[in-house]
Amino acid sequence: MELTKVYRAIDKPFLVSLLAILLMGIIALTSANATISGDPLSYVKRQLLAIALGFFILLLMVRVDYSQLSKYDRIVYILTLVLLVAVLVFGKEVRGTQGWIGVGSFRLQPAEIAKILIIVGFASFLEKRQGSLETLKDLVPCFLYVLVPFGLILLQPDVGTGLVVLAVMLGMMFVAGANPKLLIKIILAGIGLVGIALFLHFQFGMWLPLKDYQLLRLTVFLNPYNDGQGGRGVGWNTIQSLVAIGSGGFFGKGLFHGTQVQYSFLPERHTDFIYAVIGEEMGFLGASFLIALYGVLIYRAVQIAYSSKDLYGTLLVIGIASMWLFHVFENIGMSIGMMPVTGIPLPFVSYGGSAMLANFMGVALVLSVNLKGNRAMF
């Protein structure tokens, strides 16, 4: 296929917004680690390597006709479970989560790759049930399909990624034609059950499959000073993030001049709370611009989804868009004290090789649907 034809067919706003987000991420990461001991560019170099590998994977995957993936849905599902079981057996624990498989200095987070595999398999699962998603009985198999990998992810325990999987499932089911009223009732019932379970745990000690400090991280955002240590415990991250963003003002303090960032008051500033780096040093203007870029990226993905020639392509892209939307909503939400601290990275911005590769796999699927929809496959 001629490159000129591909250039004409590819969704340029989608691609431009992606490149702009990557650039803002590298700038923020450079500033966030400017004062660390040793090589201050070590994280930046590794992030650039992950981006380069991501583009390589993108070029390989975008050549594949996405519709062929539906033929291997069972293999994809089995591979997903194998990855998630393997990390429970052979994985290494990092910050209380057994979510990494490593050899030497190389580490992979299988749950990140599993999110993409779940989307690929679940899209085929839903396509086969088109027109048969009206009753609770119809929806039960869909919930069971996702429940197994969701449960394995919770066992790590990785609540954040588990929530992403649920958000992806609901987004895909809605577009696949599931009864919207029934979905809303199920969501409200789920939220109610979680609330009751948390109440019973904290009031009467009912057992939950999470440690107390993990549960506290999910609830302390309501009042970060009420963490048992006057804001110096698990509420510290939220407090420092709020101080950083609030002190940034409209234009920000300037790159390498954020006091919360450069004096290391802000924890996890290169991963979970990198949005606070942007908020302090680039201000409301820079932080809002990043949100606008995400808006363009996700909006164009949805447009690509609905221009797909088949339901499978639509569901693939909706799954990816739902994943990005939830990541952005949750990560920015926890940075401004509106959502629980779950450790979900900001797509294409937070430091992390596994997340970057998974996101580029998502980009490849979106562009594959885009190019086939415009009859411009390689």
Residues 10-63 have pLDDT tens digits of 899 999 999 999 999 999 999 998 888 778 899 999 999 999 999 999 999 988
The pLDDT score that the predictor gives to residue 194 is 86
Residue 67 located in a structural domain: yes
Q: Average pLDDT over the chain, rounded to whole?
A: 91
Residue 378 located in a structural domain: no
Q: How far is it, in rounded angstroms, from Cα 290 to Cα 305? A: 23
The pLDDT score that the predictor gives to residue 375 is 64
| pTM metric for this prediction | 0.94
Residue 109 has pLDDT above 70, yes or no: yes
End-to-end CA distance of the chain: 5
| Sheet with strand 92-94: strands edge to edge | 92-94, 97-103, 106-108
Q: How far is it, in rounded angstroms, from Cα 99 to Cα 109? A: 6
Residue range of the domain that includes 97:
3-373
Structure letter (DSSP) for residue 253: S
Instruction: Determine the average pLDDT of the residues in 154-158.
Output: 88
Q: Report the phi/psi class of residue 97: left, alpha or beta, with left for phi > 0 and alpha for psi in -120 to 50.
A: beta
Pairing state between β 106-108 and 97-103: antiparallel
Coil, strand, or helix at residue 2? coil
Q: What is the CA radius of gyration of the chain?
A: 21
Contact 315, 126 (CB under 8 A): yes
- pLDDT tens digits, one per residue of 275-317: 999 999 999 999 999 999 999 999 999 999 999 989 999 999 9
Range name among 34-38, 198-202, 373-377 with the lowest pLDDT average: 373-377
Instruction: Determine the average pLDDT of the residues in 164-168.
Output: 96
Pairing state between β 92-94 and 97-103: antiparallel
The β-bridge partners of 94 are 97
Q: Count how many domains the chain has.
A: 1
Residue 146 located in a structural domain: yes
Q: How far is it, in rounded angstroms, from Cα 356 to Cα 349? A: 9
